[in-house]
A and B are shown apart, each in its own frame.
Chain A
Amino acid sequence: MKIGFEIHEQLFTDQKLFCNCPTNYRDVPPNTNVCPVCTGMPGSKPSSPNEKAIDSAIEIALMLNCEIVVDKSIYIQRKHYDYPDLPNGYQRTSLPIAEDGELEDVGIREVHIEEDPGKYDPVQGKVDFNRSGIPLVEIVTDPDLSSPEQARDFLNTLIRTLEYSGRVRPEPSTLRADTNISLKGGNRVEVKNINSVKGAFRALKYEAMRQKRRKEVKRETRAFMEGQMITVPMRSKEVAEDYRNIPDPDILPIRIEGEKVEKIRAEMHEPPHLRRKRVIEKYDIDPAVADVLVTERGFVDLFEAVTDEVDPRFASHWFKDILRKVLNYKDMGPEDIPFSVDNLVELLKMVEREEITPEKGELILRKMVEDPKNPKKLLEELDLKAIDRGKLVSSVEKVIQENEEAVRDFRSGKKEALNFLAGQVMKVTEGKADPREAMNVLEERLDE
């Protein structure tokens, strides 16, 4: 089985690709971020392509290990087709700005920039041109994937790489994908209309099954129907048989200078798969922990920021088990973290030196994401200082007296009763006892 992709993501620029309109199209009423250029009014002329969009695509291409097309004329092509969301009747798309890349053994054939069309609502028959002209990066892979599962993993890695670049729009994914799939000896089928990784997986699963059952597979373009999880042949009207590509006479070709590429290369972000490898080797941490660390660039950035002062292995587990959990619970991304690296280091040191228990560390962290203060202060405010031994012993006494049945169970060999009793001690001490110490004292007393 051979699977390849054509991926489109919106680039994160302030202005559109061929005009100065703003790009925050989701935040404004329909047809407000528009001008004669991005609505294709008669006589309107595009400006030269947005420099920042080109730089963004270069950085992404470099992260995908591509060769940038340097010192050559890269023409902007007009790709003609007729659809209500396309104000000019053609879409502007660049010839490759980069070629011959690779991401985890999957060939990256080409990287282009192009303009997003508007948004057409076929039910109401209305078009919103706010999106028209937003820059897109188009990434074309070689058909190097051999199963829907592998394709899904690859897409996740690719999307993470794009997110790492910081060059794609940060809003929930704007992914649009076309995929092509062929079974051994069979014809290639293209599937359009995929908007998520899950969608890609389902479309490929369906196609693989469908093609397996056919004696002969027709070479065609099909559309993925998200709701039904099937693919259907596209009506011939929807598939332009000929885009009649011509270079856009209104736009001078792009020329990328080698110097610029080197500047971007020097400052670009390390792609996640390489970062994972480096983090594992440099800090001697478990691959499974590293997998969690590199889910987001901000997260692993923060991790690396604390490793100067905190033991990396200790920190890595803490990041994976606790920080991740707290962020997920609060529905926060690393970029939303309000506290400083210093405060986090302080907290981790308190746990590392066993000044507080990991459980208390977690309680403080939960507070810290709401109220980004020094963790020592929070410790006092939360009144979490460990209780003294005398108080602990008396609490244990109290629990033993009040839970005769559990005590009997424990003494008759039901070891799990100890957990219940320890829980009761924590309850009586309002969580201030160190649970390990509570266990110890309980065991001592019960063994007597």
Chain B
Amino acid sequence: MGEMNTLQKVEAIKSGELSTTENIEDKLETIEERDGEINAFIETNEDVLERAKEIDRKIERGEEVGKLAGLGIGIKSNINTKGLQATCASKTLEGYVSAYDAVVVERIREEDGIILGMNNMDEFACGSSGETSAFGPTKNPSAEDRIPGGSSSGGAAAVASGMCDLALGSDTGGSIRNPASHCGVVGLKPTYGLVPRQGLVDLSMSFDQIGPLSTDVSGAALLTEAIAGLNENESAMFDLESVNYLGEVEVALDGLKIGVSSKFRELTDPEIMDPIDEAVDYLRDQGAELVEVDLPNLEKAMPTFYLILSVEFFSATRKFDGRKYGRKIEEVCGEEVLRRIVRGKYISRKEFKGKYYQRALQIRTLIKKELTEALKKADVLVGPTVPKLPHELGEDISPGEMYAYDYLTVPANLGGLCAGVLPFGKVDGIPVGLQVQGPSLGEASVLNVMKALEKR
């Protein structure tokens, strides 16, 4: 069974070849065996086996089941799942049990996915290492002693270690792609406005986007199909009923324009470029055309991102005033969360109007324009995900060094574009993820290129 991809596994479950109960029991056993060490879950769901039996009965009776039938799915702890805790891995929301389902969770339930529990994460998604959780750091199952990356650390680690078939993460500046890269799994940050955010606790609302983590491309496509599409009660969304990525089968790499940028190389450690170069060569050998694109302001994306994020995060956390939910955020949160709140509070001052925030919004527009132009010349951009290898768990690094992990992932968030990550080789035994960025609503192209590389 180990050789099946996620799509084949769903087919096996639907045909009765594999029972949901078997699959879920296997996941529970793995969690039991490994999570004490990895710490990928903050809370596990109680009634999963009953749900599994229900789905098995449905299949036995020949009833139609959803496209996620029988898969075990982990949910990041910043996504509301009724009855489970949306702690955001923070003392602020410790014990906060969700009173409602996020739209994406509702959709997973409708598609017969089984929610295994709430994954660990960096506190309020503020971090790129998986170390800032109030419930302890997550370990990287694919690279001993290294950080798993973040902030969707628990989801990536749970998928990498076989505790989940799939996981939902959120990506504000790389929070799906960064841990996917470090843990050696597939991740996708969908186009901003494609997946409903109702139920996702805010980090930076104009960047946040929910997306999948999976062992393979088919799983990422499947979960994205399940959660994408308009939520009538949300403002900033595309008016798209549904999306279909699995239907579009074989990719013709022939004639596909692959964008590469010298900026990627400039910002990245040379050793990481080796597998990336290999991937680009492979794509060219398969008939793709390489196009050099110009991204002159790419390195400005990171500081711009942190300015905007801090202001939005300051605003978003005003509700955690200690009156309704647990404790006042400033009194109990970790260092990085506090740093962002204080920074946001400072730069949003009236006297600085036009100096930081306004200016950052202008640069954001500039970078978005550059990326959009580049993606007119090329169908997708291919490059590295994280410019350096993950540090050792517990190693003391400065905030600046931490933010530097995000150089290559934040541009897609600034541009509202889509970007996927696929494990492509290892450096010193540590997985390296290749990033494929596509234009707005270009998920099909991104997933197709990832599929082509996955088959190699």
Contact = CB atoms under 8 A, between A and B. Distances in A.
Interface of A: 19-20, 36, 39-48, 78, 80, 82, 84, 87-90, 242-244, 246, 248-252
What are the 8 tightest A-B residue pairs by CB atom distance, in nearest-first order?
Answer: A89-B318, A249-B205, A249-B206, A244-B348, A48-B235, A47-B233, A43-B201, A251-B235
A181 B266 CA distance: 61
B348 A250 contact: no
B350 A242 contact: yes
Interface string B323-339: 11100000000000000
B319 A246 contact: no
A47 B198 CA distance: 10
B99 A41 contact: yes
Nearest to B87: A42
B202 A43 contact: yes
B318 A43 contact: no
B79, B102, B233: which has the most chain A beta carbons within 10 Å? Answer: B233
Given A43-B80, A46-B235, A249-B236, 4 more contacts: A42-B88, A45-B200, A88-B318, A246-B312
24 contacts: A19-B233, A20-B233, A36-B99, A36-B100, A39-B324, A41-B100, A42-B80, A42-B96, A42-B202, A42-B325, A43-B80, A43-B199, A45-B233, A45-B235, A89-B317, A89-B318, A244-B314, A244-B350, A246-B315, A249-B312, A250-B205, A250-B235, A251-B235, A251-B236
A251 B345 CA distance: 21
A41 B198 CA distance: 11
Contacts of B348: 244, 246
Given A82-B321, A89-B319, A249-B205, A43 B78 contact: yes
A174 B370 CA distance: 50
Determine the main DSSP class of B at the interface with A. loop
Contacts of A250: 197, 205, 234-236
Contacts of A252: 235-236
A42 B205 contact: no
A42 B201 contact: yes
Interface string B205-229: 1100000000000000000000000
Contact of A45 (B79, B197, B350): B197
B198 A44 contact: yes
A42 B234 contact: no
B281 to A, nearest CB: 40
Contact of B319 (A40, A243, A244): A40
Contacts of B156: none
A44 B311 contact: no
A21 to B, nearest CB: 11
Contact of B323 (A80, A84, A243, A248): A84
Contacts of A39: 324
A436 to B, nearest CB: 69
A88 B196 CA distance: 20
Q: Most chain-B CB neighbours within 10 Å: which of A45, A78, A242, A252?
A: A45
A82 B330 CA distance: 14
B58 interface: no
Contacts of A47: 232-235
B86 interface: yes
A78 B205 CA distance: 13
A40 B349 CA distance: 24
B208 to A, nearest CB: 9
B93 interface: yes
A242 B347 CA distance: 12
A50 B317 CA distance: 25
Contact of A80 (B98, B197, B234, B315): B315
Contacts of A244: 314-315, 345, 348-350
B357 interface: yes
A44 B86 CA distance: 12
